């Protein structure tokens, strides 16, 4: 048996999806049983429910988060039987693609969530034009790889899409909806506030479902919205923000990095940072030395 005793307590919903996904994937690959504690996914998806108590394991393996692609857990050549694993398991998703159909079956919605997903799809079909779901992560974002992507990147992409497919209705998913809605004034917008009621709980599930069933999707640099696109069987295009390219780029949910890590907010500019991140002493010191280095180079050139 393989276990993960941290699911439900190590990261939020998106992280938990990939933690469960690895357990299920590895167990199916090697014919093992697996177990984990209860988490939100138990009531939402057709997955194996968590247990309140787990068996003691022979050893524990912790993922090398600095280099997960070369981690012994990811590259195990045999069953991790008797092992409790710890980590995030957000590998390039081609790793999971051999079990794509089975995993999508596990992560399909069970009643009553499946009933709401059907109502959501029905509502989308009644809205004007083509529905596009965009995810604008704000609350805890604004530092490191978890940058705040500007709405202008999304509206530029939407304008291009509109020329190709015609009228659009934009479903805006966000943890700070009132803050970001104004950035989409050029388009007809809807949100969870407008969706068919009663809404499911937890509160974020409506946005997650919208990302799962919309015909076009643009996400944040977020494991939650990325996971939703892995289970979206109807969308014809998937886009996400790239700090390196400073625009939205297309991706394949089953053959891509879950999170882009090549540039961080602090190096890209303050427009990608939260006020809290900009006020941190560590960032101010870094900014001070960077400014002094630039002034020194300028002096030397003159």
Per-residue pLDDT of the chain (302 residues), as tens digits, is 999 999 999 999 999 999 999 999 999 999 999 999 999 999 999 999 999 999 999 999 999 888 888 899 999 999 999 999 999 999 999 999 999 999 999 999 999 999 999 999 999 999 999 999 999 999 889 999 999 999 999 999 999 999 999 999 999 999 999 999 999 999 999 999 999 999 999 999 999 999 999 999 999 999 999 999 999 999 999 999 999 999 999 999 999 999 999 999 999 999 999 998 998 755 545 554 444 544 444 344 43
Say whether both 36 and 143 belong to one domain: no
Q: Cα angle at 155 between 153 and 158, to 5 degrees?
A: 115
Classify residue 188: in a domain, yes or no. Answer: yes
Residue 66's domain spans which residues? Answer: 2-106
Say whether both 117 and 240 belong to one domain: yes
Task: Identify the pLDDT of residue 41.
Answer: 97
Say whether both 159 and 214 belong to one domain: yes
Classify residue 296: in a domain, yes or no. Answer: no
Say whether both 90 and 181 belong to one domain: no
Instruction: Look up the pTM and report it.
Output: 0.91
Task: Identify the pLDDT of residue 283.
Answer: 55
Dihedral angle over CA of 260, 265, 267, 273, nearest 10: 170
User: Among 250, 271, 293, which residue terminates a domain?
Assistant: 250
Cβ neighbors of 126 (< 8 A, separation 6 or more) are none
Say whether both 120 and 43 belong to one domain: no
Say whether both 101 and 127 belong to one domain: no
Structure-token pair, residue 98: 């051999």
Q: How many domains does the chain have?
A: 2
Name beta bridge partners: 294: none
Say whether both 209 and 177 belong to one domain: yes
Classify residue 263: in a domain, yes or no. Answer: no
- From the list 227, 265, 11, the residue with the least C-alpha distance to 145 is 265
- From the list 85, 93, 250, 89, the residue with the least C-alpha distance to 161 is 250
Name beta bridge partners: 136: 174
Say whether both 203 and 170 belong to one domain: yes
Say whether both 63 and 120 belong to one domain: no
CATH number, domain at 128? 3.40.50
Residue 117: C-alpha distances to residues 17, 110, 122, 216 (Å): 18, 10, 9, 16
């Amino acid at each position: 048996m393989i276990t993960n005793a941290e699911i439900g307590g190590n990261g939020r919903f998106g992280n938990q999806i990939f933690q469960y996904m690895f357990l299920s994937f590895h167990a199916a690959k090697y014919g093992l049983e697996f177990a984990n504690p209860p988490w939100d996914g138990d009531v939402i998806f057709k997955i194996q429910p968590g247990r309140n108590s787990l068996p003691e394991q022979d050893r524990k393996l912790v993922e090398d988060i600095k280099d997960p692609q070369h981690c012994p857990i990811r590259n195990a050549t045999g069953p991790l039987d008797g092992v409790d694993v710890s980590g995030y398991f957000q590998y390039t998703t081609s790793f999971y693609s051999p079990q794509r159909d089975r995993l999508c079956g596990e992560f399909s919605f069970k009643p009553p969530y499946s009933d709401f997903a059907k109502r959501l799809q029905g509502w989308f079909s009644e809205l004007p034009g083509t529905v596009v779901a965009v995810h604008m992560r704000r609350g805890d974002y604004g530092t490191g790889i978890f940058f705040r992507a500007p709405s202008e990147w999304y509206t530029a992409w939407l304008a291009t899409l509109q020329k190709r497919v015609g009228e659009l209705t934009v479903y805006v998913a966000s943890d700070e909806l009132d803050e970001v809605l104004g950035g989409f004034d050029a388009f007809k917008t809807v949100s969870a506030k407008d969706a068919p009621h009663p809404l499911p709980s937890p509160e974020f599930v409506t946005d997650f479902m919208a990302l799962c069933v919309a015909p076009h999707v643009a996400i944040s640099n977020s494991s939650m919205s990325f996971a939703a696109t892995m289970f979206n069987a109807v969308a014809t295009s998937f886009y996400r923000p790239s700090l390196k390219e400073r625009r939205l780029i297309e991706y394949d949910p089953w053959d891509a990095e879950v999170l882009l890590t090549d540039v961080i907010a602090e190096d890209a500019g303050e427009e990608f940072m939260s006020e809290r991140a900009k006020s941190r002493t560590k960032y101010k010191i870094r900014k001070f030395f960077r400014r002094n280095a630039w002034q020194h180079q300028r002096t030397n050139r003159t």
